[in-house]
Amino acid sequence: MTPVRPVSRRTQQERRDATVDRLTEAAIETILEVGYYRTTVKEICTRAGLSVGAMFRQFDSRLALMAKVANDVTDRILDSYAEAAEALATRPDPRRSALEFLAYSSSAPLTDVWRELMMAARTDVELRDMVAPSLPKLYEGVFELTDGLGLLADIPERSRRVTLFSMMHMFSGATLTRPLYPLPDIDEQRITLAAHYMSHTPAL
């Protein structure tokens, strides 16, 4: 007769981590579907299958959960860039491929969640304080990955950050206006224009 192995029980920390993960995923899903301002504690907890009390045992406030969401989403976006990095470096035109990926990722679901938080933070000082660390983390992380691939090698060193950040701002702005004013032909031209700018960046 085969002996029955005792079922290992999760530790208190493992249970806590699982609860935090469920709340974080539920918050991300809610923000993506209904936007930041409609993301209520009740809706998050319903999606997570948890009580409101369970949430407040892990987070002091809704804003504290939003800070966790901002940090996690930033990490996931950076992970997606890192995963794409090696493949981009082997393409016939790595720079254009990187710009195409940058344009695509600007309208990816995780980036939509991240942008919802940043836009809300413009008028919500408390939210701004909670999510502010995620902004430089994202931008500097993308810069390090892009520069590490050598995609900025032809750009004068002092001009590299402003060039890349300007590309990110351009693609992000296009994503914001696309639902109201879609311009698919310009979307393709924008990548060509960005590639030209990157090849002709002056020393600043």
The one-digit pLDDT tens for each residue of the chain (204 residues) are 555 555 567 788 889 999 999 999 999 999 999 999 999 999 999 999 999 999 999 999 999 999 999 999 999 999 999 988 878 878 888 889 999 999 999 999 999 999 999 999 999 999 999 999 999 999 999 999 999 888 899 899 999 999 999 999 999 999 999 999 999 999 989 999 999 998 899 988
Strands (E), 30-155: none
What is the predicted pLDDT for the residue at 9? 74
Distance CA 5, CA 8 (A): 9
What is the predicted pLDDT for the residue at 8? 63
C-alpha pair distances (Å), 122 with each of 17, 125, 202? 30, 7, 32
Phi/psi region, residue 35 (left: phi>0; alpha: psi -120 to 50; beta: rest), is: left
Cβ neighbors of 179 (< 8 A, separation 6 or more) are none
Distance CA 36, CA 114 (A): 10
Distance CA 92, CA 54 (A): 52
What is the predicted pLDDT for the residue at 90? 83
What is the predicted pLDDT for the residue at 65? 98
Q: pTM here?
A: 0.89
